[in-house]
C-alpha cells in the first residue's frame, strides 16, 4: 500500500471530499421522505400566496388546445390531509412500475439463479480471439445491464483474468469491464427491466401536461442501439489507445488459475437453453405473425404500433428469460424441477424488498407532488422564462444532461434520480416542444458515465478490491485514475452524439 504519510495530491483530496460528503447523504428512502416534507411545506406557502399560472393545455374532452389556469394546492388543508391519508394504498397500487419490475424479475431471476447469465458471459470470453477480446468484453459488458449484478460480479473480474490470460495487463481488463458495465448502464440493444420503471415514471410526468399521451418501452430503442454501437467503439479505443499504453507490461506475480473453463454440464445447459429459446420464439411468433393473431393491434392489425405485443413487451422478455433459464438449469443440473424454479422466483422477488420499499415512498412522493400542482407551476413558469431567453432547445437538453451528471456523484440510483427529475423536466421541456422520449434519452446519457468514478457506487469498493488482487498498492486513486479517461471521453462524446441525433431528427425508438 502507499505511504500514508505522503502528501495527498489534488485528485486524492477531491476524492476524499466526495467520499466524505457522499457518506453523509441519507438512504434514498429517507431522501424521498424529506422531499415529501418539503413538498408539504412548500405547497402550503405557495397556496397561501395564491400562486397560479395560465397557459395553453390539451383538453381531452374536446381534443383541442385551450386556455387553462392552474393554482397551487396545499397538502395541509382538510382535502389535502384526506388525500395523503386515504391515498397511500391507491398511490402504490397505481404505480405500475412495481408490477413491471416484479414481472421482469420472475424471468431474470430464474436465468440468474440457474447460472445462465454467468455462463453466457464466460462462454463469450472463452471463444474470443486475442484481438477481439476487448470488443467482445465491452459489448457484453454493456448488454449485461439486463442483469446488472451479473455484470459487476462476473464480467469485471473475469475481464481482468481474461486480459492476463492472453498476456495483457489485468487492470486494463478490469477498467474495460467496469467502464462497459457502469458507464453505459442505461442503454442496451434489449428492453431491460429498468426501462419499464423509467418509462412509467416518464408517463406519470407526461400526464401533467397531456393526460392522453404516453411513451412505451421501446421509445428509446433506436437511440439505445446506436449508443451501444458508439460506446463499444469508444470504450475499446480508450482502452487500447490510452489505458494500456499508460499501464505498460504487467509485472505482478498474480497468475490466472484456469477460471475460464466450462464444464460438460454447463455446455449441456447451453444446448438446452438454445433449444428452449427457439421454442419460445416460435410460440411468440404464432401469437404475433399470422394475420389476426392475438398480439396484433385488433383494429389496424399492426404488429408494433398500438399492439398488445408492444404493450406487454415486459411479459415477453420475462417469458424468454424464464424458459431459457429453466432449460439451462435442467441441462446443467442446477435446477432439478419446478420446486427449484419457484424457489428462484421467490428469491428474486424477495431480493426486491429494498426496491419495493423505495418505490412505495416514490409513489407517494409523485402522487403528492402531482396533487399540489407544483410541477405544472414550475414547468410553465420556467418554460415562459426560457422562452423569454429564446434559448435553443438543444442548449436546454445539453444543460439537462450536465445537471444529471452532477447529481449522479451523490445519488447514483437511476430510478431515484429520475423520480425527482421527471416531474419537473419532462413537462418543462414538453412546453418548449421537446418530446418526452428525447428527455428520457438525455437522462440516460447524463445518468451513466459518472457511475464509473463515484465512490458512492455500491460496487466501487469491490472494484478496488479486485484491483488490489493484481496490484498490491492499489487503492481508490488507482481505480479513479483508470476510469477518468473513460468518464471524460464518454461524457463529451455521448452528449455530442445525443445532440447530433436530435438535430438530425433521427427516430428515437419504435
Q: Give pTM, 2 decimals.
A: 0.70
What's the distance, CA 308 to chain centroid?
Answer: 24
Furthest C-alpha separation in the chain? 75
Per-residue pLDDT for 1 more than 50?
no
Concatenated DSSP letters of 179-204 = HHHHTTTT--SS--HHHHHHHHHHHH
DSSP-derived secondary structure letter, 449: G
Specify the range with the lowest mean pLDDT, choosing from 170-174, 471-475, 482-486. 471-475
The stretch 193-219 carries a mean pLDDT of: 85
How confident is the model at residue 196, as a pLDDT? 81
Q: What average pLDDT does range 401-416 have in this prediction?
A: 80
Contact present, 156 and 460 (Cβ < 8 Å):
no
Please state the separation of Cα 357 from the chain's center in Å.
18
Residue 267: pLDDT above 60? yes
How many percent of the chain have pLDDT more than 70? Answer: 88
Q: Is the pLDDT of residue 309 over 80?
A: yes
> Of 32, 22, 24, which Cα lies nearest the Cα of 416?
32
Residue 293 has pLDDT above 90, yes or no: yes
3-state secondary structure (DSSP) of residue 58: strand
**Residue 4, pLDDT above cutoff 50:** no
Nearest alpha-carbon partner for 497 in 233, 241, 236, 223: 223
pLDDT for 231: 97
Report whether pLDDT(375) > 80: no
According to DSSP, the residues that pair with 54 across neighbouring strands are 69
pLDDT at 258 over 50: no
pLDDT greater at residue 420 or residue 137? 137
Query: Which range is least confidently modeled, 17-21, 116-120, 262-266?
Result: 17-21
158 Cβ contact list (under 8 Å, min separation 6): 121, 122, 125, 177, 259, 260
326 has pLDDT over 90: yes
DSSP secondary structure string, 346-382? HHHHHTTHHHHHHHHHHHHHHHHHHHHTHHHHHHHHH
Q: How far is CA 303 from the centre of its chain?
A: 27
- Give φ, ψ of 241 to 5 degrees: -100, -25
pLDDT at 58: 55
How far, in Å, CA of 486 to CA of 444, rounded? 16
Q: From CA 135, how far away is CA 176, in angstroms rounded?
A: 10
Q: Given a cut of 50, is residue 367 above it in pLDDT?
A: yes
Predicted pLDDT of residue 19: 46
Residues 453-467 as b or e (16 or more Cβ within 10 Å = b):
bbbbbebbeebbebb
CB atoms within 10 A of CB 274: 14
Does the pLDDT value for residue 102 go beyond 60?
Answer: yes
Residue 252, pLDDT above cutoff 90: no
Q: Which candidate, 186, 212, 332, places its Cα nearest to that of 270?
A: 332
Pull the grid cell for residue 487. Answer: 468518464
Measured CA to CA in angstroms, residue 359 lies from 30, 227, 362 at distances of: 12, 28, 5
Q: Residue 191 is placed in which grid cell? A: 428492453
pLDDT at 35: 87
Amino acid at each position: 500500500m502507499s505511504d500514508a504519510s505522503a502528501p495527498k495530491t489534488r485528485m486524492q483530496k477531491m476524492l476524499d471530499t466526495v467520499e466524505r460528503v457522499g457518506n453523509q447523504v441519507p438512504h434514498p428512502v429517507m431522501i424521498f421522505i424529506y422531499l415529501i416534507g418539503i413538498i408539504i411545506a412548500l405547497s402550503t406557502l405557495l397556496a397561501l400566496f395564491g400562486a397560479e399560472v395560465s397557459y395553453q393545455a390539451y383538453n381531452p374532452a374536446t381534443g383541442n388546445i385551450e386556455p387553462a389556469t392552474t393554482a397551487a394546492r396545499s397538502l395541509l388543508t382538510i382535502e389535502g390531509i384526506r388525500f395523503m391519508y386515504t391515498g397511500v394504498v391507491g398511490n402504490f397500487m397505481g404505480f405500475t412500475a412495481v408490477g413491471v419490475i416484479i414481472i421482469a424479475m420472475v424471468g431474470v431471476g430464474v436465468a440468474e439463479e440457474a447460472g445462465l447469465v454467468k455462463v453466457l458471459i464466460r462462454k463469450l470470453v472463452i471463444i474470443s480471439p486475442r484481438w477481439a477480446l476487448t470488443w467482445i468484453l465491452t459489448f457484453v459488458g454493456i448488454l449485461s445491464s439486463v442483469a446488472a449484478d451479473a455484470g459487476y460480479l462476473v464480467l469485471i473480474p473475469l475481464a481482468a483474468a481474461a486480459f492476463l490470460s492472453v498476456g495483457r495487463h489485468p487492470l486494463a481488463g478490469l477498467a474495460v469491464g467496469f467502464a462497459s458495465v457502469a458507464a453505459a448502464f442505461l442503454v442496451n440493444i434489449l428492453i431491460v427491466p429498468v426501462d419499464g420503471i423509467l418509462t412509467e415514471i416518464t408517463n406519470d410526468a407526461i400526464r401533467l401536461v397531456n393526460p392522453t399521451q404516453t411513451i412505451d418501452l421501446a421509445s428509446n430503442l433506436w437511440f439505445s442501439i446506436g449508443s451501444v454501437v458508439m460506446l463499444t467503439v469508444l470504450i475499446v479505443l480508450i482502452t487500447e489507445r490510452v489505458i494500456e499504453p499508460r499501464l505498460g507490461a504487467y509485472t505482478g506475480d498474480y497468475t490466472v488459475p484456469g477460471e475460464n473453463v466450462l464444464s460438460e454440464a454447463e455446455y449441456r445447459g447451453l444446448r438446452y437453453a438454445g433449444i428452449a429459446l427457439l421454442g419460445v420464439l416460435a410460440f411468440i411468433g404464432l401469437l404475433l405473425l399470422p394475420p389476426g393473431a392475438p398480439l396484433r393491434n385488433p383494429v389496424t392489425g399492426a404488429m408494433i404500433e398500438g399492439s398488445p405485443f408492444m404493450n406487454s413487451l415486459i411479459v415477453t422478455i420475462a417469458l424468454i428469460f424464464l424458459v431459457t433459464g429453466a432449460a439451462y438449469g435442467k441441462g446443467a443440473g442446477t435446477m432439478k424441477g419446478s420446486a427449484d424454479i419457484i424457489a428462484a422466483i421467490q428469491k428474486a422477488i424477495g431480493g426486491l424488498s429494498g426496491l419495493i420499499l423505495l418505490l412505495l415512498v416514490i409513489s407517494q412522493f409523485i402522487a403528492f407532488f402531482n396533487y399540489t400542482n407544483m410541477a405544472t407551476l414550475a414547468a410553465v413558469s420556467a418554460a415562459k422564462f426560457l422562452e423569454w431567453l429564446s434559448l435553443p432547445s438543444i442548449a436546454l437538453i445539453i444543460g439537462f444532461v450536465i445537471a444529471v451528471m452532477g447529481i449522479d456523484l451523490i445519488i447514483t440510483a437511476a430510478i431515484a434520480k429520475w423520480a425527482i427529475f421527471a416531474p419537473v423536466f419532462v413537462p418543462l421541456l414538453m412546453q418548449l416542444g421537446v418530446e418526452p422520449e428525447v428527455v428520457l434519452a438525455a437522462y440516460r446519457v447524463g445518468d451513466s458515465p459518472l457511475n464509473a468514478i463515484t465512490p458512492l457506487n455500491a460496487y466501487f469498493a469491490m472494484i478496488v478490491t479486485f484491483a488490489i488482487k493484481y496490484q498490491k498498492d492499489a487503492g481508490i486513486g488507482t481505480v479513479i485514475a483508470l476510469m477518468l479517461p473513460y468518464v471524460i471521453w464518454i461524457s463529451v462524446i455521448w452528449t455530442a452524439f445525443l445532440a447530433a441525433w436530435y438535430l438530425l431528427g433521427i427516430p428515437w425508438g419504435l
